[in-house]
Amino acid sequence: MPQYDGDFSVPTLIDFDGRLVVSTENNGARLYEFGDDGRIIPQHKAQNMDLWPDTVSPVLPDGLLLTARGALTLNVKGSVSMPLARTASLTAASALMLVCLISGICGAQEDQVMQDLRAQGKLISERGSTRATRYAVSNKIVTVGEKTHIAWLDSVSETMIVTFDHATGQWSGPVRVGTGKDNHGGPALLADSKGSLHIIFGPHGGPFQHAASARPNDPGEWVKQPDFGADGTYPSAVFDAEDTLHIIYRGGEGGAKRLVYQRKPAGQPWSDVVELAAAPIKTGYTHYHSSLTIGPDQSLHVSYDIYFNGSAQCAGHLMSRDAGGTWTLADGSSVSLPVTPDQDAFFKRSDASLGVYNLVCDRDGKPWISANHLELWHHDGAQWRTVRPALTAGITEKEEGSAGGAISINNEGNLHWFGSIAGKLWLLRSVDGGETFARMHVADPEPDRPLMGPNIERFTGHNRVKTPWLLYSAGVKGPDCYGHGLFHKVFAAQLSK
């Protein structure tokens, strides 16, 4: 049986040197071989997801597999799959042709699948909140020394944490840190320069709770810190080299909520609120899907969209090189705060609704932003450019349209994207700066438990990310902000060779 159902299986089968080429709209082009008994071997020998005809049969002239399908693409073993329309001048026709080198079907697909990693999932709770691991803007996993700490929400709003000790291979916990308002009160977890853990959690429009571990790298006991924040929700936080704690969140007193920033120097109180972005309405629902990261040069970076009146049609980035004192665009140009949709301050605008998940910085201090539809945005120091992992990871355009997830960059500079594609969880990885991506399947949904809330370990100032851990949950969304009587399963996944 093919991996994805729903194929109409209209295209004609093709004989290729005693092997069989099958091409369908949901499972791409597959190459099958026959056993010594003359029967077909059920598992395909090779697959290429760039060729996925719907109702048109491919042809095979001179070793090239061609079919009509809305874009012109060349995929050769060992090269990057890319639309030829980007590099050649073409005359529009009733249908462009998708071109695949048949001898490259096997090699291209093998290159697209990670061979060196596998995901080892562990069930860490069966009482997860209905948004147990949601909100990718908040980092929920941090590794300090030989211990990895993982935080989530149990029902309805209990912030929990477990720990994996890499030296012993043992798990400890869970430890309950505190209680929030509802299923929107999920935690942001990070560590300072001394290895003390900090967790920020709790509100859905209210003050944040902040706790620090009583001992470095030990979540067994927590010390409450002063509450803070202006009617906040959705924290995203980092530490800088001086242990100043920086945070952004949706908040602000009175009226429609804004994207705001605060900082807390070590041993000092929280700063006043600074408004970074605002929707052009005085009342009504707003959201900013805002994420904060810090670069190796200590620059702060914020990604966000501005959601109001039912959609977000602009996505932006702000940067500070003076620990949050002033903010600019990525190219250093000035910007008036709070940023509003009428300003020329966005890397993308669209009539369709946008969605930003999170951002990270590479080893050169340049930002990478994950957006909906598996679209990455990267500022290379001169301009923003779009990266589409689907083009090289064997992901169809149909699957790409359903995708959403978060990104991380590890110590070696490898880019990782973890998220949902057509209801299943996948990890994508690039080891060449985003030029090509390989993929790895992580999890399938249960019949009555859709997968939700993919989250990936990332850099927050003092931790190091060798191979990022993954976090996700499974269960129904629920009818409200509480989900009384509904419980999600919560899973942590370690990537290992």
Domain boundaries, the chain: 14-112, 118-496
Of 72-76, 350-354, 435-439, which one has max mean pLDDT? 435-439
Of all helices (H) and strands (E), which one includes residue 141?
strand 141-144
User: Cis ω on the peptide bond leading into residue 338 (within 30° of 0)?
Assistant: yes
How far apart (Å, rounded) are the C-alpha atoms in residues 207 and 270? Answer: 12
Whether residue 102 is predicted with pLDDT greater than 70 in this model: the reply is: no
Sign of the four-CA dihedral 390, 396, 401, 402: negative
What pLDDT is stored for residue 89 in this prediction?
A: 29
- CA 28, 25, 354, 291 dihedral sign is negative
One DSSP character per residue, 411-478 reads TT--EEEEEEETTEEEEEEESSTTS--EEEEEE--BTTB-EEEEEE----SS---SS--EEEEES---
Specify whether the CB–CB gap between 176 and 158 falls below 8 A: yes
Instruction: Identify the H or E element spanning 149.
Output: strand 147-154
ω into 156 cis (within 30 of 0): yes
| pLDDT > 80? residue 84 | no
| pLDDT per position as a tens digit, 184-207 | 999 999 999 999 999 999 999 999
CA angle 346, 352, 357 (to 5 degrees): 60
Contact 124, 162 (CB under 8 A): yes
> CA of 109: how far to CAs of 33, 112, 391, in Å?
16, 5, 12
- 54-58, 184-188, 481-485: range with lowest mean pLDDT: 54-58
CA distances (Å), origin 439, targets 271, 282, 314, 429, 452: 43, 44, 29, 6, 19
In 3-state terms, the chain is what percent helix, strand and coil (to 5)? 5, 45, 50
Contact 52, 396 (CB under 8 A): yes
Sheet hosting strand 424-430, strand order edge to edge: 404-409, 415-421, 424-430, 438-443
What pLDDT does residue 192 have? 98
Q: Is the pLDDT of residue 29 over 50?
A: yes
The whole-model pTM stands at 0.80
* Confidence tier at 1 by pLDDT (50, 70, 90): low
Handedness of CA 496, 429, 410, 454 (dihedral sign): negative
* Statement: residue 165 has pLDDT above 80: yes
**CA 450, CA 444: separation in Å to the nearest integer?**
9
What is the rounded average pLDDT for all residues in the chain?
88
- Per-residue b or e along 47-82, where b marks 16 or more CB atoms closer than 10 Å to that residue's CB: bbbbbbbbebebeeeeeebbbbbeebbbbeeeeebb
Angle value at C-alpha 474, between 144 and 488, nearest 5 degrees: 85
Q: How many CB atoms lie within 10 A of CB 434?
A: 17
The average pLDDT across 235-241 equals 98
- Total Cβ atoms within 10 A of residue 285: 12
Q: Which CATH code fits 118-496?
A: 2.130.10.10
Of the pLDDT bands very low, low, confident and very high (cuts 50, 70, 90), residue 146 is very high
Burial class (CB in 10 A: 0-12, 13-18, 19+), 186: buried
Q: Which residue has the tokens 């049969």?
A: 57
| 106 C-beta neighbours (distance < 10 Å), count | 16
| Distance, first Cα to last Cα, the chain | 29
pLDDT at 13: 86
For residues 324-339, give the mean pLDDT.
97
pLDDT of residue 53: 75
pLDDT at residue number 52 = 64
Residue 234 and residue 136: Cα distance in Å, rounded? 9
User: Is beta strand 97-101 parallel, antiparallel or unpaired with respect to 73-75?
Assistant: parallel
Q: CA 327 to CA 347: how far, in whole Å?
A: 16
